[in-house]
Structure formats: C-alpha cells, structure tokens
A and B are shown apart, each in its own frame.
Chain A
C-alpha cells in the first residue's frame, strides 16, 4: 500500500506554541505515476503542505516518507544531499519571483544540475535542451532571454523545465496554472499529464481552481484551514461531494454552461454561527449551514466509500437538508444606493 510519497499525521505550526496549526494531522499518499490534486482557498495550507513535503519546512509532528525513506527527520548535510538529488522536485508558485531575473532561461534551467554537481557541462547542456523541448519551449529562440523578456505562460514552462531537468520521480507543482489564461492553462496541464504517461512521474498539483484539476488529476484532496476535509477519486468527489465545503467549492465554480445541483447560496451559512465555532470543533463549523452541537467535537477523516474519506459528522444527511435548488440571488433590494440627498 505504501506509495511513493506518504504524509502521515503531518502537523505544522509557526510562531507561538498555542497558535492554531497551519497543517493539522494531514494524511496523503501519492503513488508512482499518480496525479493528485490538492485544492483549497488562500490560507488553507496548500503551499505549506508542498514546502513540508519537499523538506523546506520542518513539521512539528508527523512524518514525510519518500520512497520508503523518512525525509522529515533529515537535517543538515543529509537533507541537502536529498534535495540536491532532484528526485523530488518543487515548482514554485510565482514564476516571476522564483526565477532569478539575471539568469537566462538556459542557466536557470541548468542550475539544479549544476548544484548537484555530478554531470559535466556537455551533459548538463544536453539535459537542459531536452527539458526545454519537453515543455515545448524553443531553446534556440528563448534560451538566452531573461525571465523579464518572455511571456507569463513561457515563464511558467521555464519553471517546469527547471523542476523536471533532474528527472524527478515526483513533481510538486504549486499553482502552476493560476496566472495563465485558459488555453495556456490547458497546455501546461497537458504537459503534466504527458510527463506522467511518458516518464511515470508522479505529480501533486496544488490549485485553488477546481477546473484545472478536473482535467488531469486521478485523486483530489480538499484542504480547509489546515485539514484534509475530503479526499477521493476526482470524478466521484466532483460528481457527488461528501463534505459541505467541497460542495460549496463546486457550486461556486463559474461555468459557461448552466449546471444542475444545489446553488452556492444554499450551501452558504446565512445565520450567525454558534460562538464555539470560533474556538473549537470542526474547522468548517463557522461557515457550514448544517452545523450542529455534534460538530463541537472536531470530526476526523472517515471512510465514505471506496478510496474516499470525509471529515464531517453530517455525512450523508446534510444533503437532504438542502432546500430545492436555489438560484443565486441576494436579499431583496435595500434601496441604499440611490445618491444620498
């Protein structure tokens, strides 16, 4: 059962001792050649999850095991050697800030190999050409340009070329498509899918955008305030979400087609939440329209079907509590916006 990357009971906290953890008991397993989507809103801990998984952030508790080896315990030289091996690589979120503005595309992509130091210049150059070609960039035309002189979509692909130049077995891509328009987004997603198919590379795609995961992910994990609230095969989760937060995410996603299912308004909390939700219980309690006293005990992920888990006390009955599909409409007119006399 053990996958290529296993995160178990992963808890990360910054600052004061009593501070709410940024990640709280996260369980995630990534198999060889699998594409896992991690979705969540700003501040849900997506980026911290990625940084912890690659060894940039030490967890407070829990383990990160890559290919049978616990990397969460590595320190100093051992950690550096693991990171330089390039087996597990990380493509940072913001290509403009992650790329040195004074390094040309070629040199930026060569850097991970140069740092590792086990290849000669000719081999490095060949690998750089190969990586640029893989991501569909014309090395002859763009190789000597600086990051400021190429488009956003090209920069994103440079970042990916840099992440795959070491031929990693697992790539963690942090919001690889959020800055791109739809066509370039699909281009990058296709590239990730192709790397998986051709090289058997596993990929963790971090995104706040469901639609970008629907295209390629096998499984999806939904993060909310540091907890995995739902996890399962992407199709099943998107077709019939088990957690009210997942349902809200899906209902909120804009689409060029009208969809069935409950409207987002029916999944938002309109009344004041109980006071305890600010301090304890389910992490989604303060926004959940279905919260009850039972939710005062924080739910843990529990199986809700084959290969699926959800952390919610009200599975599956919350679904029956939704009124007939509500169209998204606010309260009636307030008349407040006529210019004041």
Chain B
C-alpha cells in the first residue's frame, strides 16, 4: 500500500468548510522533532467537532496551529490550514492579528491568564469591539452588556465593571466566551476550556457553547482529554494519538462502535454513567516520547490486537465505506467488543 504522508484522498480540501486542515505537520525543539504529522480534517459550518487525546497526543499543537499561536520553537512544517476559504499558513503577524479574534475565536483552560488583571472585564470586551469592529465608546459599552447577557452572566452591567479577581472561574470563562464570539467568528476553538471548572459549572459552560453554536451557526473545535466532555457537545470526534489522528467519525458511531483499538481503550477508561462500575481499567504502557521515530503503528506496543504487519510501515488514515476514517492496519476486521477480555491487564497497579 502506498503511503504519501501529506496527501490524504479521504479528506479533500473543502472550500465551504469553516476550517480545513490538510496534511498538517508540526515540529518542536526548533525543528528537531516532529510532534504532529499528517493531520487532515475539516470542520463544517456550524459543526461541532471534538478533538480528544491524552497529554502528549499533539491536540494542543494542532489547535494552536489553527490559531497561529504556536509557542516558541514550534512551527508548522507541512500542510495547509484554511479558514472559510482563506489560507492561514504563512500569514504574517499583522495578518494573524486581523484573523484572530474576528474570524476565529478561542477559549482556553485558564481564563484568568488571558485577561488583564487591572482592567474591568467590560473594558476588555469593549476594547475588542472598538478595535475590531470600529464601534464608538457608547455603542461598544451597550454591546458589551448585551454580549455578557447573551453568555448568561447575571446582572451584566454590574459584571462589566468588575475586575477579573472579583469573578469566579466559571464567570471568567463566560467573559472570555463573550470576547471570543464578539466579532461573530466562523470558528470557535475551545482548548480544555472546561477542564479547570467545577462539574456543575462545566455543564453550564458546555451548554453555553452548544447554544452559541446552534444559534449562530458557529463552528466549534472542542479540544479535551475527556471523551465524556466531547460526547456531551460534539457531532463528530477526532481521536489523536502520539501526534497523529487515528480515528474520525460521527460522535454517536465512534462512541458506540469505535474502529481503532486506542479509541476503544479510551472508552473503557472514560467516565460512563454507570456509577456502579468498580472495574477501573487502565491502558497498559505509556505513549511514545514526543517525536519518537517508530517504524509502524504508534499505538502498537500498547495494543491488544497488535500483529506483525502493524510494524511493517507507516499506517495511513483509511476511509471506510460509510465515510469514517481510521488509522489501523486491521481496522474493520477487529471485534473490539472483546478488547476488554483480550487486553493485557496490568497486574501491578
């Protein structure tokens, strides 16, 4: 089977998509290590797509590439990123400033560190409205209060006068969501946006994201290590492992009938609504080091189904007959429902 890493016939660039990522590669350590390779996916207009993976899977690098916010030493080495038809790869810093905040909004795990501690939160929103949309002071003030109300902040005019330290984590995340959607972007990227929140507040913020998306035809890329969070909001799930996408499909199908053994393993360890389950499963082993050069499937050494052919060469992301994608040599032929019985459960710990 021919493998050409950056051409993926299964996911052609779609100019009508809100976001299209084709053959993305990201290097870290000033180009010495390839941390993300051959990542291709699209997010349709108004679609909610979840990107799930363990720490080190590359999910944050993927979403930072989309936002043009890679940390120092990291760079997009390959591939194309298009936002509603406009190519983002190779934009200058000034051009990024135009795109970010207007056409793509973002929310992160730690809202307080994205706000200026010495300015009232309302001012931080009106600044965006005045700079990006050219509103005058009075209209920006009025609009900020409307936006705060729209993200479910009680007494929005009062909240606007508060400083970040006077607000709870959940309220700050709502403020940041208001800032992120202020200019009606095509795409909202939420990177572990609810991870630091209490469970009750997390549910409220997830509902808010779902509502924003439904009401405003906003495409959503929700990045999380928690499959359960993604299951709550997303139409489609992308599973990242060790810098590659290993599965892509409709959320309902992926969660009930995973094709990749890693997805199946993630589901086994994930939170389920069954409170009586005392069986605490673990995925044996650990993911490979970032940038490790491996001959074949990157999950093979942790996989209960690994066979010799898994190590013979890079495994391409294959499309199945029903339009799902899976990066597994044996994908489709495996009966993953028996994985629990077959997995080499660790005896110690």
- Which residues in A have some Cβ–Cβ distance to B below 8 Å? 41-42, 135-136, 151-152, 181-187, 189-191, 193-194, 208-211, 214-216, 234-235, 238-239, 248-259, 264-265, 268, 328-330, 333-340
Q: Which residues of the partner chain B approach A191 to less than 8 Å between Cβ atoms?
A: 349
A238–B135 CA distance with the chains assembled, in angstroms: 50
Q: What residue of chain B has the Cβ atom nearest to residue A152's Cβ?
A: B55
Question: Is B272 on the interface with A (CB-CB < 8 A)?
Answer: yes
Q: What residue of chain A has the Cβ atom nearest to residue B152's Cβ?
A: A330
Is B229 within 8 A of A235, CB to CB?
Answer: no
A211–B274 CA distance with the chains assembled, in angstroms: 9
Is A328 within 8 A of B349, CB to CB?
Answer: no
- Which residues in B have some Cβ–Cβ distance to A below 8 Å? 54-55, 129, 133, 135, 139, 143, 146-147, 149-150, 152, 168-169, 181, 183-184, 198-204, 206-208, 210-212, 215-216, 218, 225-229, 231-232, 255, 265-267, 269-278, 280-283, 286, 348-349
A235–B278 CA distance with the chains assembled, in angstroms: 11
Q: Which residues of the partner chain A approach B280 to less than 8 Å between Cβ atoms?
A: 186-187, 189-190, 193, 215-216
Known: A183-B281, A255-B271, A337-B216. 11 other contacts (CB 8 A): A136-B348, A152-B55, A190-B349, A191-B349, A211-B228, A214-B276, A235-B275, A254-B229, A256-B231, A256-B270, A330-B208
Q: Which residues of the partner chain A approach B226 to less than 8 Å between Cβ atoms?
A: 181-182, 254
Is B215 within 8 A of A334, CB to CB?
Answer: yes
> 3 nearest interchain CB pairs?
A136-B349, A252-B203, A259-B273
Is B271 within 8 A of A253, CB to CB?
Answer: yes
Q: Among B150, B275, B278, B283, point to the contact of A337 (Cβ < 8 A).
A: B150
Q: Which residues of the partner chain B approach A239 to less than 8 Å between Cβ atoms?
A: 275-276
A101–B177 CA distance with the chains assembled, in angstroms: 36
Q: Which residues of the partner chain B approach A183 to less than 8 Å between Cβ atoms?
A: 54, 265-266, 269, 281-283
A189–B198 CA distance with the chains assembled, in angstroms: 20
- How far apart are A245's CB and chain B's nearest CB, in angstroms? 9
Q: What residue of chain B has the Cβ atom nearest to residue A245's Cβ?
A: B200
> Chain B binding site: helix, strand, loop or mixed by DSSP?
helix
- How far apart are B279's CB and chain A's nearest CB, in angstroms? 8
Is B228 within 8 A of A256, CB to CB?
Answer: yes
Is B225 within 8 A of A340, CB to CB?
Answer: no
**8 A-B residue pairs with CB within 8 Å:** A187-B280, A190-B280, A190-B349, A210-B199, A255-B232, A256-B227, A257-B274, A264-B207
- How far apart are A270's CB and chain B's nearest CB, in angstroms? 11
A321–B293 CA distance with the chains assembled, in angstroms: 60
Q: Which residues of the partner chain B approach A189 to less than 8 Å between Cβ atoms?
A: 280
Q: What residue of chain B has the Cβ atom nearest to residue A134's Cβ?
A: B349
Is A182 within 8 A of B133, CB to CB?
Answer: no
**With contact pairs A186-B269, A208-B199 given, residues A339 and B282 touching in the complex (Cβ less than 8 Å):** no
A338–B269 CA distance with the chains assembled, in angstroms: 40
Is A333 within 8 A of B215, CB to CB?
Answer: yes
Is B255 within 8 A of A254, CB to CB?
Answer: no
- How far apart are A151's CB and chain B's nearest CB, in angstroms? 8
A255–B277 CA distance with the chains assembled, in angstroms: 13
Q: Among B149, B200, B227, point to the contact of A336 (Cβ < 8 A).
A: B149
Is A254 within 8 A of B206, CB to CB?
Answer: yes
Q: What residue of chain A has the Cβ atom nearest to residue B269's Cβ?
A: A182
Is B215 within 8 A of A337, CB to CB?
Answer: yes
A239–B232 CA distance with the chains assembled, in angstroms: 21
Is B55 within 8 A of A255, CB to CB?
Answer: no
A335–B217 CA distance with the chains assembled, in angstroms: 11
Q: Which residues of the partner chain B approach A340 to less than 8 Å between Cβ atoms?
A: 129, 133, 135, 139, 143
Q: Among A181, A211, A215, A254, point to the contact of B202 (Cβ < 8 A).
A: A254
Q: Among A216, A235, A256, A337, point to the contact of B267 (Cβ < 8 A).
A: A256
Q: Which residues of the partner chain B approach A251 to less than 8 Å between Cβ atoms?
A: 203
Is B203 within 8 A of A336, CB to CB?
Answer: no
Q: Among B54, B143, B272, point to the contact of A255 (Cβ < 8 A).
A: B272
A275–B201 CA distance with the chains assembled, in angstroms: 23
A256–B239 CA distance with the chains assembled, in angstroms: 14
Q: Which residues of the partner chain B approach A334 to less than 8 Å between Cβ atoms?
A: 149-150, 215
- How far apart are B246's CB and chain A's nearest CB, in angstroms? 15
A252–B349 CA distance with the chains assembled, in angstroms: 30
Is B202 within 8 A of A252, CB to CB?
Answer: yes
- How far apart are A327's CB and chain B's nearest CB, in angstroms? 10
Is A211 within 8 A of B147, CB to CB?
Answer: no
Q: In the complex, which of the residues A183, A216, A255, A330 has the most CB atoms of chain B within 10 Å of its own CB atom?
A: A183
Is A330 within 8 A of B207, CB to CB?
Answer: yes
Q: Which residues of the partner chain A approach B265 to less than 8 Å between Cβ atoms?
A: 183
Q: Among A135, A136, A329, point to the contact of B211 (Cβ < 8 A).
A: A329
A41–B170 CA distance with the chains assembled, in angstroms: 12
- How far apart are B163's CB and chain A's nearest CB, in angstroms? 19
Is B281 within 8 A of A252, CB to CB?
Answer: no
- How far apart are B181's CB and chain A's nearest CB, in angstroms? 5
**With contact pairs A208-B199, A254-B231 given, residues A339 and B55 touching in the complex (Cβ less than 8 Å):** no
- How far apart are A50's CB and chain B's nearest CB, in angstroms? 18
Q: Among B152, B267, B277, B286, point to the contact of A215 (Cβ < 8 A).
A: B277
Q: Which residues of the partner chain B approach A264 to less than 8 Å between Cβ atoms?
A: 200, 203-204, 207
- How far apart are A259's CB and chain B's nearest CB, in angstroms? 4
**With contact pairs A136-B349, A254-B226, A256-B267 given, residues A337 and B272 touching in the complex (Cβ less than 8 Å):** no
Q: Among A42, A182, A190, A208, point to the contact of B271 (Cβ < 8 A).
A: A182
**With contact pairs A194-B349, A337-B216 given, residues A254 and B228 touching in the complex (Cβ less than 8 Å):** yes
